[in-house]
Amino acid sequence: MHNDDDDDNYPGKLLHQAALYLNVDLLKDLLIGDEINNIDATDRFGCTPLHTACLSAAQATLQNDTRVLDSSLEFIMVLIDHGADLNVQTVYCLLLIIVFIYTIHSQQFVVGCYFTNWSQYRQGYGYFIPSYIDPSLCTHLYYAFANINIKFRSPSPFEINDIKPIRINNSIKSLSSMSMYEQFNLLKIKNHRLKTLLSLGGATVNSTKFRYIFQTNKIRQEFIRNTIKYLRKYKFDGLDIDWEYPEIDKDRRIFSLLIRDYRLAFQKESLLTNRTRLLLTAAVAAYRPKIEISYNIKEISPFLDFINLMAYDYHGNWNTHIGFNSPLYPRSTEIGNQRYLNQQATVNTWIDGGCPPSKLVLGLGFYGRTFQLQQINNPNIKPYAPSKGPGLPGIYTNSSGFLSYYEICDLIKKHTWHTDYDKEQEKKKCHFIAKQRLSGAMIWTLDLDDFHGSFCGQGKYPLLKKTPLHIIAEVGNEKILALLLFHKADVTIRDKYGHTALSLAQKNRKVDSVEMIQNEIELRQQVRQETEKKLLDACFDGDVIKAEECLAHFGAQAKAVLNSSPNGSDTLNFLYRACRTGNVDLVKLLLKHGAIAKPHRQTSYSPLYIACRIGNLDIVQMLLTHFPHLVSVATLEQILPFAAACSQGHLSIVQLLLTYPNYPFSSCNIYVDRLQRSYVFPFNLNAVNTTPTELKYETQHS
């Protein structure tokens, strides 16, 4: 983190530092003590120590670095021997960054994510509010935007529900009873290392407002004081300045002054109140001529915690030609100022101007720019081909020449040329961030990602996730792969693009790794079938110890196994068989591991029906606690669990079942006694098969 406050003492920090340097002796010493409890603790990127070690191994494999390979193998073995979880997933972009982390020492990378408060007005699947955010994906969240209130010389909300829920006739109109600010800052409960910042300005706040507020010292200081009050009141951790853009020399000087004075005021307030200093960042221009006009880089860099490079919109429908939205490098055919329209040129301009790379955060736009082509039948469309205006608006974002990531997945319009967020470009940019030793990445914006997971077929927020097994299979390190497979790393987990460890090894032509994983899959399938048979026998025999052994073998897959049809047949499931034995401990064990009391597909006999019939009150109580709806599930012969208990004379179970109001009305009958009292019973007392027990019960309760 780039601030004055050391707030990075998170659980497992020492283990992560040991993993960073592959220090096996330190690892062993730590695991002897209390740090064993933090063996799977994640850092701010969701990485466990095992992830970091596997990433080092992957990089060493590619570079054929035997020294690092040996160290990483030993480090991984120690972690696994002490019970490290092999199947934790982490954010892909960060994985690519951390591949290089052992050469970048212990720098903490930033993942800044912007949220826009106008995304709440998008229709249907485009609707987005702060509670939809997954806070584990980001280290810093930015709320875009706050306005500049000239009259009160203070930041102010753009939307009414920024600070309070919308009410009409005293009823809340918004989905949540909380304001957007409240929803946003409550995300810190789920990720205690998360920082939230309020972004001041944006494209709709013109330079006139910035000039008026910040050009004179008196008004500037008043606005800064009110900013501090505003941030503290609404529980933000800092401020992001988004002035788009300083346009003249005077603006350039004003920008330097406001950055300096904000930082000094934040430091002073921190000292006086003994509170953590507010963070200060800025979102800045990416095009070199614009940078040179707008900023004195040497003056502002020391006062900013980090600088968000808006490294996108290099091309758009304002041009008369098509072009990529956020290219990483220049094209060989580009000349003159065209060669500044890429992210490499942006980063170089800021570094050449005097900004340390460790302050720079590279912006990644989760959207594409679209164009209408002049020559729609040209099969060889390339950047700088003539365009005749913006592409059609997306269904949800409704902005001409603009498509969100999820709209690109969902719809590619005819006669439209679009530039989207490409998989390989994503990888290259993460490598670039690491190699340039930048502070991290910034995402514009979360609400443009596939947050529902229903458009791109890649799950929610498709920032690719991988397990240690994915990492190792992709590079083909057979020693570590064998180690992970031996310790039952999950081979079924898929990443953002649907890849398993096997498909990654196949894709990268790691022949030996492919063979190892295939053999392991076949072996596991065989063992699973054998263990399923043992578990079925244990449930039939009421053998709790054998059942425990089988479930321990299945591990995380136990729930899926318990709720499948054993051996692929249509026989009654495990829980049903356990209920037939009347073994309370066995039923409790299966329920603990996620067994679902579903009726048999052919007979509709449910575990509750069987428990009621054999008269085991303890099992009935357990099943009703988890699955109360089963009281209304009848067999194929239309017999309810209630009737089964009555027919066998299990009075205590009948009494219990009568306390449940879930019976279908069609199966109930109303009786009136001689005192005109009405009773509703979930069976027909006058049916020909009514038993003496049922009549006895009716007599006792009439």
Q: Which of 264, 280, 281, 283 is nearest to 272 (CA)?
A: 264
Long-range CB contacts (within 8 A, 24+) of 261-267 = 261/220, 261/221, 261/224, 262/224, 262/227, 262/303, 263/303, 263/304, 264/303, 265/221, 265/224, 265/225, 265/228, 266/228, 267/4
Listed in order, strand segments (DSSP E) in 540-639 are: none
Token digits for 424? 């390989």
Distance CA 93, CA 100 (A): 12
Q: 35, 182, 244, 532: which is the annotated catalytic residue?
A: 244
244 labelled catalytic? yes
Listed in order, strand segments (DSSP E) in 66-139 are: 90-91, 110-116
Q: Which of 512, 480, 514 is nearest to 57 (CA)?
A: 480
Do residues 466 and 95 lie in contact, with contact meaning Cβ atoms separated by under 8 Å? Answer: yes
Helix residue ranges, H only, 436-573 = 468-475, 478-486, 501-507, 511-541, 544-554, 558-562
Do residues 588 and 622 lie in contact, with contact meaning Cβ atoms separated by under 8 Å? Answer: yes
Q: What is the CA radius of gyration of the chain?
A: 32
Distance CA 633, CA 610 (A): 12
Phi, psi of 290 (to 5 degrees): -70, -40
Count of CB atoms within 10 A of residue 329's CB? 13
Token digits for 335? 């000349």
Helix (H) or strand (E) holding 430: helix 423-435
β partners of residue 404:
367
Residues designated catalytic: 244
